[in-house]
Amino acid sequence: MIKEIEKRASEKMQKTIEALTNDLATLKAGRANPKMLDKISADYYGTPTPISQMAVIASPEPRLLTVTPWDASSLKAIEKAILASDLGINPSNDGKSIRLAIPVLTEERRKELVKQVSKTGEESKVALRNIRRSGMDELKKAQKDSAITEDEQKLGEKNLQKLVDDYIKKVDEILKAKEKEIMTV
């Protein structure tokens, strides 16, 4: 019973870490990264569709992204979606593909990005703590229902706390790496 609760909590925490790394990958850190466009959707025949499903996104140079749609008629919709996004990049349309030149980061923009990274990391830590709390609640309920003893409950709570501490360390390591990347680009 305790192992099942710990396993479920661990799986949820791992998904939180994956979500954090995906969120951080979409941040514009001065280098062209196709994942920057992952959260942008364009109107495709009346349906909001992620750009990555409508086009080939490539990074031929460190500061350049090219978006080449499979359906040439969707070029304008993709360009419009990129302009409307919070990327802050003006697309250049040559009739067949869209070129996105990634500008060099200013010191002010670097500081904004570091704040954004910290905020995202803090949200992940809150999510981890919420997973721990739900695991603790499950342990208390199991103990109340006499499925486990009080000693087993205490051991389970201790294990959940250790699990959370380990995952918070992982979050801190990911955040430090991203901040270093932002400051050195």
Crossing angle for the helix pair 150-184 and 107-144, nearest 10 degrees? 170
Q: Which is nearest to 13 in space by CA: 125, 173, 153, 138?
A: 125
Q: Which residues of the chain have pLDDT under 70?
A: 28-30, 185
pLDDT of residue 135: 92
pLDDT of residue 148: 87
Burial of 158 (0-12, 13-18, 19+ CB in 10 A): exposed
Per-residue pLDDT of 159-184, as tens digits, reads 999 999 999 999 999 999 888 887 77
Name residues whose C-beta falls within 8 Å of residue 66's C-beta, 6 or more positions apart in sequence. Answer: 56, 57, 58, 59, 60, 97, 98, 99, 100
- In order of their start, the domains of the chain are 2-25+106-184 (1.10.132.20), 34-101 (3.30.1360.40)
Structural contact between residues 118 and 161, judged by C-beta atoms closer than 8 angstroms: no
Place of tokens 């749609």: 69
Predicted structure pTM score = 0.70
